[in-house]
């Protein structure tokens, strides 16, 4: 038996077109959804990248600021070290008050000190030179001044001028200086008898004027 199709051809054609349109709509909706999801994901990734970039820029600025601060601190440390070294070079490393107290302790009632002078010498200054200069200082001639301020390791020469009742008192004073831990290399420059005018006139007293040089023992003698 032969089947008879009562549907016209145009109806079948419209039906196929409608099915094709529906498939296209579904595909377009799917593509739109995919694009929206992709756009959202990409936007979040871009926002996260921008946030990380901003954070990295802030960290870089902070690191640069810290680097500048560290460089300034290092510069200050170098300057302070230089000043500290200069202070160490300038520092005489002696306690003048203690030295004078020791001299006062060693001086008995038979001696009177008129002058105590400290002068710095380089450690390269030998004993012969010191003795030569001491000889030049005899009979009231002034010692030569140092040509410039000495820095670094120095030794201090002490010149002591005064008067004593007798030469033996000067000798005992020199012995006490030698025995003292504060002084060393005691050398007499000159001793001279003199007279002291006292009242009433005609009753002059005899005395010995002396000049002694020595060195402060603030470093080890080699």
Phi/psi zone of residue 139: left (φ > 0), alpha (ψ -120 to 50 degrees), beta? left
What is the C-alpha separation between 156 and 222, in angstroms, rounded? 16
Judge whether 54 lies within some domain: yes
CA distances 154 to 85, 124, 215, Å, are 15, 9, 11
Q: What is the pLDDT of residue 175?
A: 92
Q: What is the pLDDT of residue 200?
A: 64
- In this structure, the answer to whether residues 67 and 119 fall within a common structural domain is no
Q: What is the CATH number of the domain that holds 100?
A: 3.30.70
Counted domains in the chain: 2
Beta bridge partner(s), residue 159:
117, 213
Q: What is the pLDDT of residue 145?
A: 38
User: Do residues 130 and 187 touch, judged by C-beta distance below 8 A?
Assistant: yes
Q: What is the pLDDT of residue 118?
A: 85
Q: What is the pLDDT of residue 211?
A: 93
- In this structure, the answer to whether residues 87 and 100 fall within a common structural domain is no
- In this structure, the answer to whether residues 85 and 110 fall within a common structural domain is no
Q: What is the pLDDT of residue 78?
A: 92
Judge whether 1 lies within some domain: no
Q: What is the pLDDT of residue 130?
A: 45
Tens digit of pLDDT per residue, the chain (222 long)?
556 666 667 767 777 788 888 888 888 999 999 999 998 899 888 988 988 888 888 888 888 888 999 999 999 999 998 888 777 766 666 778 888 888 889 988 888 888 988 887 776 544 444 445 444 433 333 333 344 444 556 778 899 999 888 888 889 999 999 999 888 889 898 888 877 766 666 666 788 899 999 988 865 444
Tell me the residue range of the domain where 102 lies: 96-216
- In this structure, the answer to whether residues 103 and 38 fall within a common structural domain is no
- Domain end (from 91, 109, 138): 91
- In this structure, the answer to whether residues 137 and 212 fall within a common structural domain is yes
Q: What is the pLDDT of residue 146?
A: 43
Q: What is the pLDDT of residue 218?
A: 67
Q: What is the bridge-based pairing of β-strands 111-122 and 154-164?
A: antiparallel
């Amino acid at each position: 038996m032969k089947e008879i199709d009562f549907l016209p051809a145009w109806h079948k054609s419209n039906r196929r077109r409608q099915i094709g349109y529906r498939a296209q709509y579904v595909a377009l909706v799917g593509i739109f959804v995919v694009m929206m999801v992709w756009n959202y994901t990409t936007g979040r990734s871009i926002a996260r990248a921008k946030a990380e970039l901003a954070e990295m820029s802030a960290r870089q600025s902070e690191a640069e600021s810290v680097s500048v601060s560290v460089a300034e601190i290092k510069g200050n440390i170098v300057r302070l070290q230089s000043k500290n070294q200069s202070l160490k070079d300038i520092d005489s490393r002696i306690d003048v008050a203690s030295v004078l107290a020791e001299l006062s302790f060693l001086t008995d009632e038979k001696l009177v000190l008129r002058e105590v002078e400290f002068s710095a010498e380089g450690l390269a200054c030998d004993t012969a030179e010191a003795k030569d200069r001491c000889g030049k200082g005899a009979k009231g001639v002034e010692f030569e001044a140092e040509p410039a301020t000495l820095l670094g390791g120095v030794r201090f020469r002490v010149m002591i001028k005064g008067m004593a009742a007798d030469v033996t008192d000067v000798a005992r004073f020199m012995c006490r200086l030698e025995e003292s831990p504060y002084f060393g290399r005691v050398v007499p420059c000159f001793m001279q008898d003199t007279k002291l005018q006292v009242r009433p006139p005609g009753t002059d007293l005899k005395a010995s004027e002396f000049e002694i040089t020595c060195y402060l023992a603030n470093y080890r003698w080699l």
